[in-house]
Amino acid sequence: MTMDIQTLRGLGTVVVMVAFIGLALWVFSRRRQRDFDEATWLPFADDPEASARLAREREERAARSTRQ
């Protein structure tokens, strides 16, 4: 069996599609949500007001998780 360019292009498309689906599942996973929420505040890490808000959000999230 010989592989022509069309077969290689088709396989490349499948590989990229599987990688895209895997990445999308990883990004939108509920287990990763806390990490991404904290990462959104990294640009404001030096700002005391933003740091206080992040701490409040962490406390609220912890309180919600203990209530459930």
> 28-52: per-residue pLDDT in tens?
888 888 888 888 878 877 878 877 8
Give me 43's structure tokens. 């640009």
- C-beta separation of 54 from 38 below 8 A: yes
Q: What whole-number percentage of the chain has pLDDT above 70?
A: 97
pLDDT at 47: 79
CA distances from 43 to 11, 32, 40, 55 (A): 40, 19, 7, 15
Total of domains in the chain: 1
Give the distance between the most distant pair of CA atoms in the chain. 66
Measured at the CA of 54, the angle between CA 48 and CA 58, to 5 degrees, comes to 145
The H or E element that residue 32 is part of is none
pLDDT at 68: 61
Q: Tell me the whole-structure pTM to 2 decimals.
A: 0.55
13: domain range? 5-67
